[in-house]
Chain A
Amino acid sequence: MDTQTLALKHAKLNKPAQTSFAALWKPALKQAFVKLDPRQLLRSPVMLVVELTAVVTSVLCFLPNPQVSSGLAVQIAVWLWFTVLFANFAEALAEGRGKARADSLKAGSQGLGARRQNSDGQYQTVAASSLRKGDLVRVEAGELIPGDGEVIEGIAAVNEAAITGESAPVIRESGGDRSAVTGNTRVVSDWLLVQITANPGESTLDRMIALVEGAKRQKTPNEVALDILLIGLTLIFLLVVATLQPFARYAGGDLPLVYLVALLVTLIPTTIGGLLSAIGIAGMDRLVRLNVIAKSGRAVEAAGDVHVLLLDKTGTITFGNRRCTAMLKAPGVADKELNEAALLASLADDTAEGKSIVEYLRGLHPLQEPERSAIKSIAFSAETRLSGADWNGHSFRKGAVDAVLNYLKLGRDEVPAPLAREIEKIAQSGGTPLLVAGDGRLLGVIHLKDVVKPGIRERFAELRQMGIRTVMVTGDNPLTAAAIAAEAGVDDVIAEATPEKKLQRIRAEQAEGKMVAMCGDGANDAPALAQADVGLAMNDGTQAAREAANLVDLDSDPTKLLDVVQVGKELLVTRGALTTFSVANDVAKYFAILPALFAGIYPQLGVLNLMQLASPQSAILSAIVFNALIIVALIPLALRGVRVQAADAASLLRRNLLIYGLGGIVAPFVGIKAIDVLLVALGLV
């Protein structure tokens, strides 16, 4: 067994472990202490403040204060340290799941070799990590592809299980829309010549790792905004607590510093501050488990706001492999003439449609096929929207109706009536009529049929319910497009789309302030994918599309966008819910701590001790303990995310406000009282 196979096996063995909590908590516990390093805590300012207070309190334990027993001071210090550790633990736990997978992938890529083609055409074995953009490598059956790239030559079955988890191999070949390959996937048959398209550190694998590792993770825009708000709240409470001492002195009292520190920590938003990073990591991890790679967190957040979704029809709404199902000749044209022209126009055509035409004709009756080398192929271009070949001085073209008519300089009304009727029929049935021309003469029409994917209609209905409009993008003529659109249930259609047309549409929507998502896989989708706010590229598409998009779906399932929207929403809702909860908690904490603090100055304020806490000491300690334990209690929620039902905004808000707002006010009253009872029973205060 070579190292590569070992690595793959390793990766597979690791898979079930990722979801098991038992295997994760131990390393997470260790990480919780490692993360006490203030340099790491800089990313989470609220927790940095807590750590500072923990340090101060620890020092104060050694400075005797007649107002505070050293036993109490020690307990407060210990619980402050716990608060930081619990938050670190949550982050480490969130990291753990993604890391386990990333580590196994990393292990697989370590020591991986590559056969690089030098400029003289010779192959040289180098380390995979030394490959640069533009390098050519040859990968044989049984080997791992050393990096992300585009197939230049060859056709092979590739097992992408390491990245996608899907064990059935897929076909990768040069040309067409299935030319992109991902690093660390295994060629299982034949060979490929691959042009590397990613420098070290930029590959899909690197991105996956960066998404789930806390220290390298880029904060998403909304997370940054929320962070600022939390820092603001922390500053406000810092002012509140800092000015309390002079106020108390004016009233003739003196507040022990330990108590003020305790008050500060209970007031600042530690719950959300401690869990914010874990929420973000867990969200990205959910995305990774959905087999979606996000190049930036921004796109995930933006997905929740999408107004319009542009979908490439082919391969998205329909199965995409439009097949030739019939051929109808124009009046006065012989069968043989049409068949020959169709064959010659398609022989050099790599697309699924072209191949299906050749297959159709081969199945009809044996044909004499000319030498491939004798044919001068005319490749399809987005501008002319024609393809075909020149052979023996004859020219053969096929293409969309408008394109061919344009090429023949014919008006629509100049098409012979019987043929025009057939074209109409094909289009209305949702098929694609492809005109065939030979030597400047209209010969007939090919009926290409495309099948709408089952269940897609329901998915679109769901999207509509969430307020997202779907627009189908297709190169088909308006009639064909309308028929398929009606069948699939999309809201709008862009027919006869060119890359410019798609781009224009996206820009027009964006100019109205709308957020646009785009799903696509072809090279001609790349500009649109780049322009859209959320660009979801299919992993089995072209490298150009994968580069341009900010999300890549490894399963190549365009309706995955729905799940991305869901993850994005859950991410935001979880943050919002815990922020609300955190701030609402402060009400009860005031009622616990203020009467305790001021008991010596104004005994009448004892009325505010609504919870009837046993003593000022137990009140302060209970609040601190509650503050630390609530972080632990909410770790599962932070990792799982708050579920978001498909409901209208108002009822969603009402529900979350009740649970996390009202719940946030009530919960600490109950919790602090319970802890107080327990502390007294245990004789700790």
Chain B
Amino acid sequence: MHVQDYWLILAFFALVLLPAPFLGRYLFRAMEGQKTLLSPIFQPVERLCYRIAGIDSEAEQDWKTYALALLAFTLASLLALFAILMLQGLLPLNPQQLPGLEWTLAFNTAVSFVTNTNWQAYSGEAALSYFSQMLGLGVQNFVSPAVGLAVLVVFCRGIARRSSNSVGNFWVDLTRATLYGLLPLCLVLALFLVWQGVPQTFLEYVTAHTLSGTDQVVPLGPAASQIAIKQLGTNGGGFFGVNSAHPFENPTAWSNLLEMAAILLIPAALVFTFGHYVKDLRQSRALLASMLILFVLGLGLGLYAEYQPNPALAALPIEQVGSLEGKESRFGTTASMLWATATTAASNGSVNAMHDSFSAIGGMIPLFNIMLGEIVFGGVGAGLYGMLLFVLIAVFLAGLMIGRTPEYLGKKLEAREVRLLVATLLVMPLGVLVFGALAVSLEGPAASISNPGAHGFSQALYAYSSGAGNNGSAFAGFGANTPFHNLMIGLAMLLGRFGYILPVLAIAGSLAAKKRAPLGSNSFPTHGPLFVTLLTLVILLVGGLTFLPALALGPIAEHLGLVQGF
């Protein structure tokens, strides 16, 4: 690694962490309807939205009503998007005359964007019209992270409120998250990207005559706006097939840096939003510390692996300086690994390099990040509520070990909360292991795997992890567009999304109804280094124990085989 590599990493952390406290406070105020810098602009729009939709913004919902509203909204979104994708051939803004999608692919894509996964079993420029991209996927790129954010603030309210039956109003939370949270940031980033050279046009694809005398079709489209929100909303679904490795999606070093930072910008800020809700920013710093430890551990191990010479080539008289296989040479090894870590730490899933071509360990890091449930910063809202679930487990153990019935920030954890917690713990093993086992043991679906042996197993494992984890990044090399995988990964995505959201809402409802005990000298502090250590270990232990056998048959076997010359 060179000096500029270190500067890049430093700049990345600065861009993510420095604005976080301010953005976090802004988001808290915005979500609670307090006055913010942008209120004069957005408040009239917000009121207009409520008037049009007939929503009483003062009326609060209990968690069940909230969950029903959320499910209804998701179902409507799903059906609308499915219809758009099936019928795009008949719809306007289709200069390339692209036909409607095959139904399993349409289902998979609709689920993918509604669940904030953005798994893409298609290639954007070859399959989707501008209409589908903008009014289909683009809309979901905004509202699906807004739903995640809404669920998070419900969880925050659950902890902050006392003896309360209500947890907020879904329609209000959804509107505010979109309007105040995502829209302004997206606007700024989109303009920046246009300046850097990302196209934003309705013109049809351009045909160019190359020097070699052949014709090349250069795809265009309204890309900049889509890319801004795909990064900020931890969506990850690229406008073009190869995602942010494409020069039109990610033209310069600056666009690369900002797109990378944009992945974690809101998730990092939300940690502070949580602190404002519970009126204790020390909690935010503790959570952030644990996230940073996990992030740096993953990044460090990944970079180390990527910069190791390939043992298979060791005998050849060449000098190896990091592996560039599968990486965009404009960005190099460090920027690729950094992006891979960030995009899987969050549930983003955009890529600027092909993870399939990383070294075995370098490819395992993104995979393991996803398997942990993407709680290292994580998706907008989804990451932090996932992290808070781990906090509850850690608190349960810590409480017992100091001889008190477990409580977090004064809220007691009882059988009901533990039951719901356990339900969420089962989501990833079900989605990854059970669905994955099905995929590799059936002959037809297993044929989608392009490499033999351990590496091929990693491809399948990655695909189902990405689906169940709502990440959406692809390991590449896995032929995902078959009816079986479209349907199964679609189901995995639904499981991964609602297997968390529903228990989280129920836990929030149950916590909100509880009294909040005062924190005395005999209660356990959840902000010191001791708790950060415990939390980090619990996360690694739960993730490790669940997925070590599968990883042993995938990347670990591949790596050890390479090292030992098998």
Contacts and interface: CB of A to CB of B under 8 A. Distances in A.
A513 interface: yes
Contacts of A243: 433-434, 436-437, 550
Given A247-B553, A604-B557, A586 B545 contact: yes
B430 A239 contact: yes
Contacts of A106: none
B510 to A, nearest CB: 13
A580 B541 CA distance: 11
B405 A247 contact: no
A514 interface: yes
A628 interface: no
Interface centre among A305, A598, A657 (most CB of B within 10 A): A305
A248 B563 CA distance: 21
B402 interface: yes
Given A240-B429, A243-B550, A650-B525, A568 B403 contact: yes
B188 interface: no
A305 to B, nearest CB: 5
B162 A594 contact: no
Interface in B369-387: none
A653 B404 contact: no
A602 B557 contact: yes
A221 B414 contact: yes
Contacts of B524: 649-650, 653
Interface centre among B415, B453, B544 (most CB of A within 10 A): B415
A267 interface: yes
Interface in B396-454: 396-406, 410, 413-415, 417-419, 421-422, 425-426, 429-430, 433-434, 436-438, 440-441, 446, 453-454
A239 B433 contact: yes
A250 B403 contact: no
B2 to A, nearest CB: 32
B402 A247 contact: no
A239 B524 CA distance: 34
Interface stretch (A16-24, A61-69, A434-442, A569-577): A569-577
A636 interface: no
Q: How large is the interface on B (under 10, 10 to 19, 20 to 34, 35 or more residues)?
A: 35 or more
B548 interface: yes
Contacts of B518: 307, 512-514
A39 interface: no
B317 interface: no
B530 interface: yes
A283 to B, nearest CB: 12
B516 interface: yes
Contacts of A649: 402, 404, 522-525
Interface string A302-329: 1011010000000000000000000000
A657 B398 CA distance: 9
B537 interface: yes
A239 B426 contact: yes
Contact of B557 (A240, A468, A605): A605
Contacts of B216: none
B560 A573 contact: no
Nearest to A515: B517
Contacts of A467: 520-523
Contacts of A228: 415, 418-419, 422
B515 interface: yes
Given A229-B422, A594-B548, A604-B564, A573 B403 contact: yes
A607 B560 contact: yes
A561 to B, nearest CB: 15
Main secondary structure, interface of B, reads helix
A246 to B, nearest CB: 4
B560 A605 contact: yes
A554 to B, nearest CB: 24
A570 B403 contact: yes
A653 B426 contact: no
Interface residues of A, number: 74
Contacts of A601: 553, 557
B92 interface: no
Given A229-B396, A247-B550, A250-B446, A576 B415 contact: no
A376 interface: no
A657 B545 contact: no
A572 B425 contact: no
Contacts of B453: 251
Contacts of B7: none
B546 A236 contact: yes
B564 A657 contact: no
A604 B403 contact: no
A229 to B, nearest CB: 5
Interface in A208-222: 221-222
Nearest to A224: B415
A583 B557 contact: no
A679 interface: no
B95 interface: no
Contact of A511 (B429, B515, B544): B515
B405 A302 contact: yes
Contacts of A580: 397, 401
A39 B128 CA distance: 59
A508 interface: no
A647 to B, nearest CB: 9
Interface string B451-462: 001100100000
Interface string A69-106: 00000000000000000000000000000000000000
A249 interface: yes
B534 interface: yes
B476 interface: no
A256 interface: no
Given A251-B457, A579-B400, A653-B398, A514 B517 contact: yes
B561 interface: yes
B448 to A, nearest CB: 13
Contacts of B44: none
B426 A235 contact: yes
A604 B566 contact: yes
B556 interface: yes
Interface centre among A229, A307, A467 (most CB of B within 10 A): A229
Given A224-B415, A267-B545, A605-B560, A572 B403 contact: yes
Contact of A576 (B399, B419, B541): B399
Contacts of B18: none
A308 to B, nearest CB: 10
Contacts of A307: 517-518, 520
B356 to A, nearest CB: 18
Contact of A240 (B162, B425, B433, B561): B433
A240 B549 contact: yes
B517 to A, nearest CB: 4
Nearest to B562: A604
A598 B515 CA distance: 51
Nearest to A468: B522
Contacts of B437: 242-243, 246-247
A571 B544 CA distance: 29
A631 to B, nearest CB: 19
A598 B561 CA distance: 13
A598 B454 CA distance: 12
A301 interface: yes
Contacts of B441: 246, 249-250
Interface centre among B414, B441, B522 (most CB of A within 10 A): B522
B399 A246 contact: no
A250 B440 contact: yes
B206 to A, nearest CB: 45
8 contacts: A229-B421, A243-B434, A246-B438, A580-B401, A594-B549, A603-B566, A649-B522, A653-B402
Give me the 10 closest cross-chain CB pairs, A-B, nearest first: A576-B400, A569-B403, A467-B522, A232-B422, A513-B515, A604-B560, A576-B401, A246-B441, A246-B437, A243-B437
Given A247-B440, A604-B561, 18 more contacts: A221-B414, A222-B414, A228-B415, A229-B422, A243-B433, A246-B440, A250-B441, A251-B454, A513-B162, A572-B400, A590-B548, A602-B552, A602-B553, A649-B524, A650-B525, A653-B402, A656-B401, A657-B530
